[in-house]
A and B are shown apart, each in its own frame.
Chain A
Amino acid sequence: MITYSFLQHYWWFIISLLGGILSFLLFVQGGQTLIGSIGKTENERKLLTNVIGKKWHYTFTTLVTFGGAFFASFPLFYSTSFSGALWVWMLILACFILQAVSYEYQNKPGNFFGRNAYRGFLFFNGLAGTFLIGAAIGTFFTGSEFLVNKANIAEFSGQFAPVISQWQHPLHGLEALFNLRNWLLGLTVFFLARTMAVLFFKNRIKDNNIEGRLNGALLKNAVPFVVFFLTFLIWTLLAEGFAVNPETNEVYMEKFKYFNNLIQVPALLILLLVGVAGVLYGIIFSMLKSTWRKGVWFAGPGAIITVTTLLLMAGFNYTAYYPSTYDLQSSLTIFNSSSSYYTLKVMSIVSFLIPFVLAYIFYAWNALEKNHATIDEFKEGHSY
């Protein structure tokens, strides 16, 4: 018998996995911030742009699917966070809107803004998109100020009628930037994206000049990434967390909650260690052996596993994944914010099609990446 609780956990796992995959695919955004500094000539910049340009759809689609899946499985999060932390999400959306046209339009005649503007949009997307997504996810551990009252929908008067989710901070999301831990996760995601981009470029590009510069860029980005990540992780593991009483569903503060989650659910601890080891292995061996191109295939899955585990740690083991510091009992848990049993069941059946989707993505990815990318490749034909 498949229980409601099982489905709620399953869907939190899917959301976490999508978040993990997204964190890896943000290498496209990271790469966008590196085009100017690694590409010294126009041909080099074009090569770099095209190598990640063939993948931007995947990141974009994963972000949209992450949103859609969150809506379908945890609609209360969708209604609370997107309306509440309005400005953070609007900024994220705005920079992704700009990205969506920039590859296609940057080198086209008649593009109105000029090539540099579109490159600027790509840089802005790479910088703001990664940082803000990281900071927004940071609030999963640090909390936000909101109130949820389902009875408002049937209230005829009063300050809050009839809106169910009410944000309590006038900055509507930007207040997340007052919290250092959110900054740490934002910077972690930013430097992770750049590190992954360097490893991806190393894997794809055959060009002596660029490859030389990539080795330097790896050090400059991987070190801050590791420092910010470890600081965030250790701080979070030592911090108080938002625990849920399994009997009463009451939310309360628990010391070392996230650390306890790792100890009480050893699978999470193992996954986290495996993920971190993968990331570090990919980075360190790429640094030690500059001709080794396969770093991204260790660091990438490592990042997916690590971020998935962090999100699982935020929602599993009776933890409130979207806590409210304004009213603890308004905090969102996988139990009080999920869709109904029926909807989760239907969506679970749909999710069985995901391996099929992954299979054709794998095929298409490989079909276009049979050879290493060179400057000559993008001189003719369809390129960005």
Chain B
Amino acid sequence: MELLNSAVVDWSRGQFALTAMYHWLFVPLTLGLGVIQAIMETIYVKTGDEKWKKATKFWMSIFGINFAIGVATGIILEFQFGTNWSNYSYFVGDIFGAPLAIEGILAFFMEATFISIMFFGWNKVSKGVHLAATWLTITGATLSALWILIANAWMQLPLGMEFNPLTARNEMIDFWAVVSSPVAINKFFHTVYSGWILGSLFVLGVSAWYLLKKREVDFAIKSIRIAAIFGIISSVLIIWTGHGSAKQVAYHQPMKLAAMEGLYEGKSGAPLIAWGFLNPEKKSYADNVEPIVLAVKLPKVLSWMAFGEADAFVPGIKDIIDGGYEVPKIDPRYQDRVPVRADGTALSFDEKKAMGQRAQTALSNFLKAEKEKDTVAMAEYKSILDANYKNFGYGYLDKAEDSIPNVPLTFYSFRIMVILGGAFLLLFLIAAYLDWKKQLHKFKWILWVFILFIPLGYLATQLGWVVAEVGRQPWTIQDILPVQAAVSGIQSSSVKITFILFAVLFTGLLIAEIGIMKRQIVKGPKIEEKADKNDDSDTY
């Protein structure tokens, strides 16, 4: 099939990845720090202790610096669906636009309104109202995450819609199905917890620096206490949502799971690869080369994690392309989303591609018949379209390899994320223990470890998105629309220019942000010393 210049697709993907990853540098800290500062202000309001107020205000100043650049990098993401993914915007805009609009109406305004009271209202509203504004700011930010993750989850598991050939697009038929999608709910909590963990790591690391410098000791210990407890709770919760996420991927995106595990040949009682190296000798999904070397395997764990049974069959990449394996039973609400052969086994790539092409030809013929007002032909083509639509997107793919995501990126990202997640829990437990034993100041090297874990927190949360998004390639909408057919009709040179524009712009702003944050941290909350009245550098 003659599709668009692949450079447009690659650069558009690159730009989306660039802007989304930049945005995601700032959002998790907003989500985590927002809750931590709200907890601190709650303690201040309850106890009346001014030290807690100063601690709150310090973390709020960091929050403000981070929030501004989060807003700056966020606006492009919304409009980018239109600028670079115009076909996508039309093809699924009837469903996808709604959560974005609701995010604006219900979440952004809540954030925008109450953040002004949070920053400017200290002496203008009562303590209680101010506290409410602080909580409502973070509630708004979290609701914003909810709506955008509902939208993202829908791309991974498209529910509550049907294709309307008259308008040549997908249309929403069940809003509740979109909103209450199990993938959306799990993704929301998993993502928010990752923000909470990052916020905790950040507070832990910055506070450790004060302890090392022997400055603001009381403030630092108070902050570490809150961060450690909050971090432990978040880390335990994220294990639960992570497991939920693995199960959902196993059922709804088996190719992603196979890529995450580097699993080419499916197995019953499949082991989980705790660590291993991808074999560079493996050139094709169909060769018999062992894909992973030096693997540390946990027997049967993958089967159990994915399907709840130690001997369950987990299909590999080759199985998914060849078809013929028995499709696992899933929640009957979603069972008919995946067409199978008459004997209940999975379709091969070629069969799916044939279905996709039949659906596309039927749509083309339907639209021609509609122009000629031939209602009999329209009905006939619609029935062909309906019967084949669930694999519509495969019609755009050339060969089986096109349906495989980047395995190394997905495989390593997943492992590093999980290992780091475990390390974070351990770190929070150590912090809590040392605080409890009042020994934090005695272990300088551990305080340094706390600091070094801040960038690792960022790395882990970025890698989570790499697994989620790279792992689902080539699909913008699972099985319905691949990236090749989702882009805009623009020149690749245009996308290169905007890519460079955003790369330069965001990098410049990031440098500024880091510079300001560093100075703000060095300056500190000034709880133990009297602030210099003439020093107005904490003002904008």
Instruction: Please give the residue numbers on chain A whose beta carbons come within 8 Å of chain B beta carbons, in ascending order.
Output: 49-50, 53-55, 57-58, 60-61, 63-65, 67-69, 71-73, 75-76, 78-84, 86-87, 89-90, 93-94, 96-101, 103-113, 150-151, 153-158, 160-167, 172, 339-340, 342-343, 346-347, 350-351, 353-354, 357, 360-361, 364, 367-368, 370, 378-384
Q: A106-B540, A340-B172 are in contact. Are A75 and B101 (CB under 8 A)?
A: no
- Indicate if the CB atoms of A67 and B91 lie closer than 8 Å: no
Interchain nearest-CB distance for B6 vs A (Å): 14
Interface hub of A65, A84, A172, A381 (most chain B Cβ within 10 A): A65
22 A-B residue pairs with Cβ-Cβ distance under 8 Å, sorted by A, are: A57-B113, A61-B112, A65-B108, A68-B100, A68-B103, A69-B101, A71-B100, A75-B169, A76-B93, A86-B490, A104-B64, A104-B67, A110-B515, A111-B516, A112-B512, A153-B168, A163-B87, A339-B93, A340-B171, A361-B109, A364-B116, A368-B124
| B89:A78 contact, CB within 8 angstroms | yes
If the complex has contacts A165-B90, A384-B539, are A57 and B363 also in contact, measured as CB distance less than 8 A? no
Known: A83-B489, A86-B494. A111 touches B515 (CB 8 A): yes
Contact A150 B367 (CB under 8 A): yes
Chain B, 489-519, contact with A by CB distance < 8 Å: what is the 0/1 string? Answer: 1100010001001000100110111011111
CB A258 to nearest CB in B, in angstroms, measures 26
A49 and B76 CA atoms in complex are apart in Å by 25
Closest to B523 in A: A109
Do A79 and B515 contact each other (CB < 8 Å), given the known contacts A64-B108, A340-B172? Answer: no
Query: How far is it, in angstroms, between the C-alpha of A134 and the C-alpha of B435 when the chains are bound?
Result: 58
Q: Is B71 an interface residue (CB 8 A)?
A: yes
Q: Is the CB of B108 within 8 A of A54?
A: no
Nearest 5 pairs between A and B by C-beta?
A75-B93, A82-B82, A384-B540, A65-B104, A72-B97
Give CA–CA (A203, B71) in the complex, Å: 28
5 additional contacts (CB under 8 A) given A65-B101, A162-B396: A80-B90, A97-B509, A105-B516, A151-B368, A380-B536
Give CA–CA (A343, B93) in the complex, Å.
10
Minimal beta-carbon separation of A56 from chain B (angstroms):
9
Instruction: Provide the residues of chain A in CB contact with B88, threshold 8 Å.
Output: 79
Q: Does B68 contact A (CB under 8 A)?
A: yes
Provide the bound-state CA to CA distance between A82 and B97, in Å: 14
Query: Does B419 count as interface, using CB distance less than 8 angstroms?
Result: no
Shortest beta-carbon distance, A32 to chain B, in Å?
Answer: 14
- How many Å lie between the Cα of A154 and that of B395 in the bound state? 9
Within 8 A of A (CB), among B74-115: 75-76, 78-79, 81-84, 86-91, 93-98, 100-106, 108-115
B interface residues with partner A (beta carbon < 8 Å) = 1-4, 61, 64-65, 67-69, 71-73, 75-76, 78-79, 81-84, 86-91, 93-98, 100-106, 108-117, 119-125, 129, 133, 164, 167-169, 171-173, 175, 360-361, 363-364, 367-368, 396, 485, 487-490, 494, 498, 501, 505, 508-509, 511-513, 515-520, 533, 536-540
B104 adjacent to A64 (CB under 8 Å): yes
Look across to chain A and name the residue whose beta carbon is closest to the beta carbon of B167. Answer: A150
Query: Nearest CB to that of B511 among chain A residues?
Result: A112
Option from B101, B108, B113, B498 in Cβ contact (under 8 Å) with A347: B101
Contacting pair B367 A163 (CB below 8 A):
no
What residues of chain B lie closer than 8 Å to A360, measured between beta carbons? Answer: 110, 113-114
Q: Which residues of A contact B512 (CB under 8 A)?
A: 101, 105, 110-113
The answer to whether B109 and A61 have CB atoms under 8 Å apart is yes
| Cβ contact within 8 Å between B98 and A343 | yes
Complex contact A165–B86 (CB within 8 A)? yes
